[in-house]
Structure 1
């Protein structure tokens, strides 16, 4: 699938959905075991607190401070509540921004991984037909860039590395400022494919 500035957007699937809601990924049983309440229980608590009128940060803080929920589950409950109450869609932030995140573990040094994004001659080998303009570059650590997407806009790429061993890193790639849910679905598939190609290049 090509989604560069000169290519086609490819298929997003029959439904064009961006993915599962967090309530589908984190089961009620697992949430109850970790926090003492299932999704319906937490939604009831938040409704009584009039959470639809609060910000994302306020909701998460309330869950942590008033109900003793750990940070990760507080964020998950908050996102689940916002999705359930129509305050955001899957792939959309509370402020309305469409974005996505993908990751891939690669057996290569962090220096080589970041250079594969920063060096155009290397980048063309795994990311052809795409226009990417590097804005910030921290060797062996992170990179940000503007990306001419296939939907006629300029979105943003944010790459950050987690070093797992001297020659093993996890790539975290965020694609921000996308126009809509279709773009999120398209580019989630696109970046999964491209990072698979990058892994093959660096490990080959």
Structure 2
């Protein structure tokens, strides 16, 4: 069962039901025919807090064969990280400045989120 990493006790404490009881409730509500958002909203209307509603919905979808592990609503995504042998402030300054970045990268990237001097989330062309 994909839910084995979180105990029945923890799930019961936050949602009011263990895994089996929660999945039975969702089956009775017809969740096999619902979109993910609808399942999470149903759980929310039953008093399940936001993050827990999302987590239970994903676990339910995986358990019932509606979603594979690592699958997201829009399919699959991949991520990567890279470590460079330079001080982070130098790397950050060079990547944050579009002109300097061109010396490091031939590709055009989109900076989605940046924490100055710490991290940068980017979208790289396929």
TM-score (norm 2): 0.70
Aligned in 2, Cα 1:138/1:36: closer, same or farther, shift over 3 Å? closer
Which of 1 and 2 has greater Rg?
Answer: 2
Gaps of 5+ in 1: 1-19, 103-110, 125-130, 148-153, 155-204
Aligned in 2, Cα 1:46/1:145: closer, same or farther, shift over 3 Å? same
Equivalent residues of 1:118, 1:137 under 8 A apart = no
More relative contact order, 1 or 2 (CA 8 Å, 6+ apart) = 1
- Equivalent residue for 1:98, pick from 47, 62, 76: 76
- Equivalent residue for 1:36, pick from 4, 16, 23: 16
- Alpha-carbon distance in 2 for matches of 1:41, 1:101: 35
**What RMSD in Å do the two structures reach over aligned CA positions?**
3.5
| Counterpart check, 1:146 vs 2:121 | no
| Counterpart check, 1:115 vs 2:92 | yes
- Equivalent residue for 1:89, pick from 61, 68, 92: 68
SS in 2 for 1:144: strand
Q: Which of the pair is proportionally richer in helix?
A: 2
For this pair of structures, how many residues does the alignment match? 113
Equivalent residues of 2:61, 2:67 under 8 A apart = yes
Aligned in 2, Cα 1:89/1:137: closer, same or farther, shift over 3 Å? closer
Equivalent residues of 1:83, 1:90 under 8 A apart = yes
Q: Deviations over 1:115-170 (max 9, x none)?
A: 2793659x79xxxxxx86421355536532215xxxxxx2xxxxxxxxxxxxxxxx
